Amino acid sequence: MLKSRKLKRNRYQESLRDRFKGRFHHFNGFFVFFAWFCFILVLGAGLSRLYYEILDAHWFKLEQIDIAGIKALDRTQVLDAMGLIRGESTLGISAPRVAERLEKLPLVESASVRVDYGGRIAVSIVERRPVAVLRCGEQNMLMDSKGLIFAKVNPGQKNPFPLITGLCGADVKTGDRVGADSLQHINELLSAVEDSKWLSTSAIDECRWAGDGFTIILGKRAIPVHFGKEDFASKLTKLKNVLSTLNDRGWTDLVTRIDLDYPDRAYLEGQFPVAAPVEETAKRPG
């Protein structure tokens, strides 16, 4: 009977123990990765739950909106533009985005929004300051110092601002701007009137713009006073002297037109009395 020969182990062959240890090492790495994955998943779910719990917390719910700086604007207009809902979480409100919405209102020049996480929002608004009323077709429009036409004037509404005609047509709408050249002339004229201290804008019924410059309609008798396009300050001084002279002579009601667009003089039209010729007495021979 033949005996089986016992196979000798090859010293280069991996042992069963080493093979098991290698496989366990790979399994251990997979287990650690899986454990970390589950941990992160559970942590994310917990944080998400906590976040929504915080959003629903009553001390973060929007309960109060304070608005400062509005005069021409109505509070309801501001609230509608903000687009916020009472009771929503202040944590989800972006202050810069709300300010952007407010600045889209034609009457708003700038807006700042501060979110207080006690359920309160503070809003500060700087309204546009109109400097003139433009007659565009049949509609009167408000214009600011930067030339932006930002609002319509309601029929019958009185404004303390000068009325400028001849500058725009009926196709103009809110959001349009006056041309830079025309705006420069307008601002120079209005600045000169303000600095003059003696002529108020309420005394000016109309400022007519044409190719040769401005003509102001002045006083109850609607006297046209032509100013041209430049040097408004000195021309206002000249106008003051002209009106003073007319008043001293009692001719104020006789003048029908004044043109100041001359370097050293003013041109007046009216029904002025003609001075009687001086009679010369001939000398008799002695």
CB atoms within 10 A of CB 75: 10
Q: Which residues pair with 133 in a beta bridge?
A: 142, 163
CATH architecture of 59-127: Roll (3.10)
For residue 178, give the nearest of 190, 162, 166 by alpha carbon.
166
Question: Residue 11 corresponds to which amino acid?
Answer: R
Q: Which of 222, 186, 190, 195 is nearest to 206 (CA)?
A: 222
pLDDT at 41: 66
Write down the pLDDT at residue 34. 62
CA distance 106 to 197: 31
CA-CA distance, 251 to 258, in Å (whole number)?
A: 13
Query: In a 10 Å sphere around its CB, with 0-12 CB exposed, 13-18 middle and 19+ buried, how is residue 137 labelled?
Result: exposed
Chain-centroid distance, C-alpha 213:
28
Instruction: Give the number of other CB atoms < 10 A from CB of residue 208.
Output: 17
pLDDT in tens, the chain (286 residues): 445 555 455 555 555 555 555 555 555 555 666 666 666 766 666 556 555 555 555 667 888 899 999 988 889 999 999 998 888 888 788 899 999 999 988 889 999 999 887 788 999 999 998 889 999 988 999 999 889 998 888 887 777 888 999 988 888 888 889 988 889 999 999 999 989 888 887 788 899 998 889 999 988 888 999 999 989 999 999 999 999 999 998 888 899 999 999 888 899 998 888 765 555 444 444 4
CA distances from 148 to 128, 142, 163, 178, 278 (A): 9, 8, 15, 7, 60
Instruction: Tell me the backbone φ, ψ of residue 202, rounded to 5 degrees.
Output: -70, -20
Going by C-beta distance under 8 Å and a sequence separation of 6 or more, which residues neighbour residue 202? 160
The tokens describing 265, both together, are: 């003089």
User: In this predicted structure, what is the pLDDT of residue 82?
Assistant: 92
State the pLDDT at residue 209: 92
pLDDT at 273: 83
- The CATH class for the domain spanning 130-270 reads alpha beta
pLDDT at site 22: 54
Q: Which residues pair with 126 in a beta bridge?
A: 110
Name the token pair of 243.
């009106």
Domain boundaries, the chain: 59-127, 130-270
